[in-house]
Amino acid sequence: MRRILALAPALALLAGCSMSTPLAGTAQPAPPPTTEHAAEPGLPPDPRPAREAKCPYLSAETVQDANGQHVTTVRVSDDKPHPSCFFYRPDGGLQVTVQVYVGTKDVATKLVNRAAPVDTSNPASDPAGWKGGYQPAGDGVVYAVSKGEAAVIVTSNQQQSIKARTVAKKAIAALKL
């Protein structure tokens, strides 16, 4: 009888491992953080990497220098006329994403406000003539600005906004926006 009582806690633990529903009061892992936004009418969806390729407006070296991490892989989206670019670090993690939108002023402004809402973000006005905001995003930062019909949104896995801002300025200059 003592052996059965001694094994009861172990059996209960093993039985709990096969349960599909968590026990009340048991800590559950948090879902992974996401930067995706709910689909909004009139706004393009968040960009997704489609294939491995060079970014047509930013080199891997430029992003490495600005963000402070080695870039091993670059992927691009199928967006037109300017694909979004995704820069990955050696461990496979995403370090920088650059989204460029050129279309209507209203959509450009809304994209920037979706990424860095006016009510919660710090104001951004660099480069000159561009307006938007920057704020923490996940474990990093987002820097989003628009000017006229163009918007540039940069996310970085680094917490210093100057890194994302530098990437945004380089993209804007390279595209002559």
At which residue do the structure tokens 């996401």 appear?
Answer: 34
Cis peptide before 33 (omega within 30 of 0): no
What number of helices (H) and strands (E) belong to the chain?
A: 4, 8
Rounded to whole angstroms, how far apart are CA atoms 154 and 158?
11
Name residue 168's amino acid.
A
Q: Please state, in angstroms and rounded to a whole number, the distance separating the CA atoms of residues 130 and 61.
A: 25
| Cβ atoms of residues 168 and 124 within 8 Å | no
Question: Which pLDDT tens digit goes with each residue over 131-162?
Answer: 999 999 989 999 999 999 999 999 999 999 99
Residue the block writes with tokens 């990424």:
115
Per-residue confidence (pLDDT) for residue 119, from 0 to 100? 87
Q: What is the pLDDT of residues 17-68, one digit of tens each?
A: 333 333 333 333 333 333 444 456 678 889 999 999 999 999 999 999 999 9
Lookup: tokens for 12: 């209960």
Nearest to 154 by CA among 62, 80, 38: 62
